[in-house]
Copies of this chain bind each other. A is one copy, B any other.
Amino acid sequence: MASVRKTDKRIEDEALVETPDLEEFIGYNLKRAYVIVQSDFRRTLGEDGFAPRVFSALSLVVQYPNVTSSGLARMLGIERSGLVAIVDELEGRGLLKRTNVPGDRRVQALVPTAKGKTAYAEARAAVRAHEDRLLSNLSDDEKATLMSLLGKIRATEA
């Protein structure tokens, strides 16, 4: 039964190690924290809500109208082949349109629709609410410090 386990050899061994090595690594802590935030994001936005990467893409399209898929890929730090499914989903939902660019027929400018702008404003509010609620045990100062330190890590990127 379960109560026996609390006193058996395996758990006694655990008690001998105060802090596992693992907890000393930034990478491990970063991942565990990221998983928590991401899964709360998905839970909050729900089945029919945006996945994080789709939300990110929509955000950039609304803020940078006429951005291209390749531009989006660069900003998001992923390969441009990965943008196809994301843009397909957003276009399929009627939130943006692929439009031709006069002067370069290779390129498709991504333009948010009115519906897309509205949907983004609502989703942004939902995401803000999710982070405010989930991270309510961090003060505004702590959040700002965290952002700044994460920014320092991001600044190491090649």
Contact = CB atoms under 8 A, between A and B. Distances in A.
Nearest to A153: B33
A118 interface: no
A22 B59 contact: yes
A25 B127 contact: yes
A92 interface: no
B32 A77 contact: yes
A158 to B, nearest CB: 9
Interface of A: 9-10, 13-14, 17, 20-22, 25-38, 41, 52, 56, 59-60, 63-68, 71, 77, 109, 124, 127-128, 131, 134-135, 137-138, 142-143, 145-147, 149-157
Given A26-B37, A145-B145, 20 more contacts: A10-B64, A10-B66, A10-B67, A20-B60, A21-B59, A22-B56, A22-B60, A25-B128, A26-B146, A26-B150, A27-B37, A27-B38, A27-B41, A29-B146, A29-B147, A30-B33, A31-B34, A37-B153, A137-B152, A142-B149
